[in-house]
C-alpha cells in the first residue's frame, strides 16, 4: 500500500505550486517536503530560477514554521518562494469586512508585483522596488517600503495601512501621493492613507473607525 501524499506539486504559468495538506501534522509535512526536494523531485533542481507558490489551505502557521518551510525550499539553489498563503475559512457569523479579507504571509521583493481582487492583509514586508495592487484595502503587518495601490479598479474609499509607512509611492484609485519626503511623519504608530476630498491624507490607524463610521468625512472625490 502506498503512503498517502501530503504535498502535491503542480506546474503553473508563474512557476510551481506546492499544495500542502492542512489536516496532517506539521512535522509530517516537513519530512515529506525534504524527501520530495532531495530524493524524488530532483528534476526541479536543475535549470533556471523557479518561482514557488505555497498554498497552506486552512492551516495557520507560526512565524517559526513559515521560516522552516522557507528554509527547506530556499536551500535548493534555483527555487525562490514568491508567496506562502493560508485561506482560513470565513466565520459564517461575520457580516462582511474582515470575513472577505485575504490573508497572505510573504515578502514582496524588488521587482515583484502582488495583485489581488478585494481586501488584502499581508503579513510581511514590501521591499523597495516591490509593488502591491488591490481592488480593495491593503493592510501590511510589516514595513511598506515599496509601492502600494489600493482601489486600483476605481474604489476611492479604499485605504492603505501599514505598521511602518516608508513607501516609495502610494496610490488610491487614480490619486497618486506626493513625494514621500513631503508627508512622512516617522511616527512609530501604525498609519493609514485615505482620500479626503480627492486628496491623499495620512493618519494614525486608531482614527480609521472615525472615518469609516462617518462616510461624510470619507469622500474620495
Q: For residues 77 and 73, what is the distance between their CA atoms, to the nearest angstrom?
A: 9
**Nearest one of 55, 58, 57 to 69, comparing CA atoms:** 55
Q: What is the per-residue pLDDT for 96? A: 41
Same domain, 202 and 107: yes
Question: For residue 169, what is its C-alpha cell?
Answer: 509611492
Per-residue pLDDT reduced to its tens digit, 167-218:
999 999 999 987 666 666 666 678 999 998 888 888 888 888 777 665 544 4
Question: For residue 64, what is its C-alpha cell?
Answer: 517559526
Residues of the chain with pLDDT > 90: what percent? Answer: 29
174, 150 Cβ separation under 8 angstroms: no
Residues of the chain with pLDDT > 70: what percent? Answer: 81
Question: For residue 58, what is its C-alpha cell?
Answer: 486552512
Look at residues 86, 108, 124 and tell me which one is the last residue of a structural domain: 86
Q: What is the per-residue pLDDT for 220? A: 45
Same domain, 115 and 19: no
pLDDT at 92 over 70: no
Same domain, 110 and 57: no
Backbone φ and ψ for 99, nearest 5 degrees, come out as -65, -25
Same domain, 117 and 26: no
Per-residue confidence band for 141, with pLDDT thresholds at 50, 70 and 90: very high
CATH of the domain at 22: 3.30.160
Task: Give me the number of domains the chain comprises.
Answer: 2
pLDDT at 1 over 90: no
Q: What is the per-residue pLDDT for 188? A: 66
Average pLDDT over residues 114-123: 91
Domain that holds residue 65: 1-86
Q: What is the per-residue pLDDT for 197? A: 84
- Block residue for cell numbers 486552512: 58
Least reliable range by pLDDT among 26-35, 61-70, 86-95, 101-110: 86-95
Average pLDDT over residues 82-93: 64
Look at residues 30, 52, 86 and tell me which one is the last residue of a structural domain: 86
Same domain, 128 and 82: no
Q: What is the per-residue pLDDT for 159? A: 94
Tell me which of 41 and 69 has the higher pLDDT.
69
Per-residue pLDDT reduced to its tens digit, 13-64:
878 888 998 888 888 889 998 888 887 766 666 667 888 888 888 887 788 8
> Left, alpha or beta for 142 (phi > 0: left; psi -120 to 50: alpha)?
left
Amino acid at each position: 500500500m502506498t503512503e498517502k501524499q501530503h504535498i502535491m506539486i503542480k506546474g503553473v504559468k508563474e512557476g510551481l505550486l506546492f499544495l500542502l495538506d492542512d489536516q496532517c501534522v506539521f512535522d509530517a509535512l516537513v519530512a515529506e517536503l525534504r524527501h520530495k526536494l532531495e530524493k524524488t523531485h530532483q528534476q526541479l533542481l536543475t535549470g533556471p530560477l523557479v518561482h514557488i507558490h505555497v498554498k497552506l489551505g486552512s492551516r495557520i502557521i507560526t512565524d517559526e514554521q513559515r521560516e522552516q518551510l522557507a528554509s527547506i525550499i530556499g536551500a535548493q539553489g534555483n527555487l525562490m518562494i514568491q508567496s506562502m498563503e493560508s485561506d482560513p475559512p470565513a466565520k459564517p457569523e461575520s457580516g462582511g469586512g474582515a470575513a472577505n479579507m485575504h490573508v497572505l504571509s510573504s515578502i514582496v521583493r524588488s521587482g515583484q508585483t502582488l495583485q489581488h481582487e478585494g481586501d488584502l492583509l499581508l503579513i510581511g514586508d514590501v521591499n523597495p522596488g516591490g509593488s502591491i495592487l488591490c481592488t480593495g484595502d491593503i493592510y501590511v503587518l510589516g514595513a511598506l517600503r515599496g509601492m502600494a495601490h489600493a482601489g486600483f479598479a476605481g474604489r476611492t474609499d479604499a485605504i492603505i495601512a501599514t505598521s511602518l509607512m516608508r513607501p516609495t509611492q502610494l496610490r488610491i484609485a487614480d490619486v497618486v501621493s506626493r513625494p514621500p519626503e513631503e508627508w512622512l511623519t516617522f511616527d512609530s504608530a501604525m498609519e493609514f492613507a485615505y482620500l479626503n476630498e480627492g486628496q491623499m491624507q495620512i493618519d494614525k490607524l486608531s482614527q480609521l473607525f472615525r472615518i469609516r463610521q462617518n462616510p461624510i468625512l470619507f469622500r474620495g472625490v
